[in-house]
Amino acid sequence: MPAISFCPTTVAAYATNFSLALKLEKPQKSLISFSKLPSFSKVLNPINTSFTTSRTLVPPKYSAASDLSALSSASADDSISAETSSFKSLKSRLRNGETLYGLFLLSFSPTLAEIAGFSGYDFVVLDMEHGPGGITEALSCLHALAATQTPAIIRLPESCPTWAKKALDLGPQGIMFPMIESAKMAKKAVSYCRFPPDGIRGSAHTVVRASNYGIDEGYLSNYENELLIMCQVESEEGVKKAEEIAAVEGVDCIQMGPLDLSASLGYLWDPGHKKVREMLRKAEKAVFGSNPGSGGGAYLAGFAMPHDGPTNLKSRGYHMVSGAVDLGMFRSAAVEDVKRFKTFLVQGSDDEEHGNDADEKYWSE
């Protein structure tokens, strides 16, 4: 019989892992301890009503070795408690009375998603309705946002159970259903987010990202409390039924859509028209009357327009405000950059002779 040799290092490694497995006793939610990540709490400046952040803009550092060491000396329950206690969901922050500020991401660029997260946005909406991205692209952006501990909301391309199921399995904190025009449609949207018998969501929770691929044993009991369900009111018919939609059990937030609303009223791309603004105020009043803080009704979310900025929405009582689109921000910066260069070509510049502090600042930003 041939001799069998063992590598001492390999044997030691297997012994260590086996010992660790015995101490854990049951699967963990995650090996990452979120208590090691920087704080991402936001504050609103009460003086100028502008949105500011107290976020520490430093990429989180993670050491697998240190986490394994911590796990080897702590119980499973202690580890799970440590990672969940330091993170507040969007729903809990809304219940605490915070006004949240976010960005719509249409490019589906993981890099821009990560920049948005580190910049301090309270949430980022991955827009599958108007953006080119699908489920695969959304997953990459979710990975990027998770690295910055920034909540993601997925806006579906349409309100249907198939899209809802695929999006929810990715594990976003929120889901947005477009063009909801009645309480019946809102009830259907909620049912797409609930497992039977409360809804019709397909179940594969043991192998999807939403449950940490089955490692999160508490997913089924917690997901309803953590998922933010948003219904978009963006048509004349939707505004008429806004109060009924907001009253549907399970609807957490009403997202106003001023651009589609203007088109619905016959004023395409003119959200500042008097009649459009009147309809918007009517919808706002209906949603505010639903009293979300009392345990019923819905919060109000909106998208800022040139004539109706983010601070205007905040001052009117909006609970969630989105102030920009990533592609729009890049377009504006790109157009300004080209304009600046071409202006110099036509007018000339004496920067090299006399220096230009403003230009130096421009290129360093």
The string of pLDDT tens digits covering residues 306-358 is 999 999 999 999 999 999 999 999 999 999 999 999 999 888 765 555 555 65
* Mean pLDDT across the chain: 81
Domain with 317 in it: 36-321
Average pLDDT over residues 123-127: 99
* Same domain, residue pair 102 and 175: yes
CA dihedral for 294, 97, 159, 139, sign (positive or negative): negative
Q: 196, exposed or middle or buried, with CB in 10 Å at 0-12, 13-18, 19+?
A: exposed
- Please state the rounded mean pLDDT for residues 66-92: 48
Segment among 27-31, 136-140, 359-363 with least mean pLDDT: 27-31
Please indicate, yes or no, if residue 12 is contained in any of the structural domains: no
Least confident of 6-10, 99-103, 188-192: 6-10
Residue range 288-316: average pLDDT?
89
Query: Is 284 found in the same domain as 180?
Result: yes
| Close Cβ partners of 146 (under 8 Å, ≥ 6 residues apart) | none
CA-CA distances (angstroms) from residue 114 to 59, 60, 123, 146?
Answer: 10, 12, 12, 9
pLDDT at 297: 87
Q: Tell me which of 130, 205, 307, 354 is the catalytic residue.
A: 130
Q: What is the DSSP letter of 305?
A: B
User: 355 and 251 in one domain?
Assistant: no
User: Does 123 reside within a domain?
Assistant: yes
- Per-residue pLDDT averaged across 138-147, rounded? 99
**pTM, full prediction:** 0.76
Q: Which residues of 172-187 are buried (b: 16+ CB within 10 A; e: fewer)?
A: bbbbbbbbbbebebbb
Whether 34 and 83 have beta carbons less than 8 Å apart is answered as: yes
Residues 358 and 315 in one domain: no
Are 179 and 159 in contact by the 8 Å Cβ rule? The answer is yes
| Structural domain count, the chain | 2
**Does the annotation mark 130 as catalytic?**
yes
Is the model's pLDDT at 158 over the cut of 80? yes
197 has pLDDT over 80: yes
> Would you state the pLDDT for residue 208?
98
pLDDT of residue 136: 98
44 — pLDDT class (breaks 50, 70, 90)? very low
**Residue 88 gets which letter from DSSP?**
-
Same domain, 310 and 357: no
- Please give the pLDDT value at position 325: 98
Q: 26 in a domain, yes or no?
A: no
Residues 259 and 154 occupy one common structural domain: yes
pLDDT of res. 293: 61
Joined together, the tokens standing for residue 187 give 């009830």
The domain that holds 229 is classified in CATH as 3.20.20.60
Q: Which residue spans within the chain are E strands per DSSP?
A: 42-44, 51-53, 100-105, 123-127, 152-155, 174-177, 228-233, 253-256, 299-303, 320-325
Rounded Cα gap, residues 175 and 158, in angstroms: 12
